[in-house]
Structure 1
């Protein structure tokens, strides 16, 4: 078959996936570059100890974020895909966030009291608000564009978000600021991003609220996503808080730096899955067998990349020392141990999205809760003895468990 005939034989879905993935790969590539530069500059500027303190507080905020976010991205995609009312989907998400924000601030205060009493209260609250406000705004906008198939807009959004973050890091360096300065600047940058996003949403879609009944229904649905996402975040973030509490501040910085590189290596897989995310819901309308089959069709691409990324991390792990400085010598060893993480994620995520698309988010949440329990148990046992080494083993074992759950155990729901 000639190249021309192959192109002509592409279905609308295939063409959309290729086009969307091209846009998202480009934007994620630029975003990845901006994030990498920002991360390297920030880690070098703060040093292992201050960077470790910041990452511990940030990880605590990320643990709380799902209960503020309440599945905003997923529910916006679902509601617009099914009902087409963008204004109401966005308005309900914003209204629900405003209602739960005071509770989030209260929990941040409790975190300060019990976990970070030696740090400034305002710093803990600012990091949390920065994560809540900036993360919520961006996730809603990303969801709207995914639901409408306007992937190019998400490309612009990701680039602007990355550019603002790089700008505030540069301001930190120019001002010769410390950790407190960075926290102030980050909050300002995320608030700026939130304002830009909501102005854009208002101009393009408007904001509508479906009333108390609609908010209550969204809260109920959002809790399922919150539980699953909280379990996921516990698996990826709790270890940093525990290293801070039970091991050392410097160890937190060393581990967090390596983990950040491992997460960044998963960006291309996230780009692909973000592009096609709404199709999990379209296929899921026919049943779980269809959304699972769609996930299986993506595995050659995602797992192929995951294997490549894992090999690249293993071979190039010591480059992290060159990038971050001599204070992060042990991060090279940590990154090499984490090298299998991208492959595990590349297999897990498509099958997990298949469950969500078929309305089986509760099953996905069960898998995440099981993973969380295993991760928490192993971290409690290993971190006090082995420090960040224990956190890595706990992460790999628990994430492998989730992969087995969504690939094999979830088949019983076919």
Structure 2
């Protein structure tokens, strides 16, 4: 049984880490057939971005269901920096499985299915229906998969009341549990200014205005950096991050350009007042000398965090399961973005959780790996968690 469970993961890693979506869907159809579960394939945006849902109907299907979500897509690789083929799913003598997606997040999707397989074989039944979803486009922001899906009649028909999604590995004994995410603001400053010969001291140039914007944004960033450095109890998800990611403009070395563009990736902490932050951006643009237009590549409103107290019976069931298993968990705000935000935005409580403690954090890194023993232990953990949340 152990060899079979690890084998399924390795086959999944080999067959699904690809650009094409067809092998992913074909593999999941096979899993659904073996599990004797109905499967639906949706295309919320286009045929290149499928969304697959397997369903295990509960004894009381009218109750809000449980959604176990994972994503099929992965980030690119640089094979020359890997010691094992990144798409080979090779296992070494220490039991480490090397492959892109081993942590982010092929392991979780297969742990869901392995846990469901074990529960079905044990004869378990649950009050609530369980949906296991595999989505595309998560690494690109979910705009072609989960985002349009949650607004569809097909999603509403699933009657989702609670969701589980990915977390992050932990090098310590603690496993982080993510109950919220920061608000993403990708801000673009289109900065117009006086153009002319590079030998002159022209007024109101785009470069001068860019310098002012950089000064203001980096001053804000410095405050957050110092706050994080001076407060050991805080994690990166508790502060606001601001990073200059792109600067564009210019014609040639001796010409003052009429336009420069600056891109900033901003992740707003839960304590930030979003209207006030946006107002400051416009204020700084005006103070820089005018002629600056603001655009947003991403501009979403505040996403309410998932309640982690007695008001949320799913949280209580989840916490009871981790307590019974003797797991050390730590509530955190997710530093990046996952598809959980789309569930929370429509009022569905969701938790991010990947049972990968005593594991170096290697998502998006070279030589991404997961130990087989950690993977198998995670299957047992999910059996208990699924059993608890599906019986609330």
Common fold: TM-score over 0.5: no
- TM-score by length of structure 1 reads 0.25
- By percentage of residues, which structure has more helix? 1
- TM-score by length of structure 2 reads 0.26
Which structure is larger by alpha-carbon Rg, 1 or 2? 2
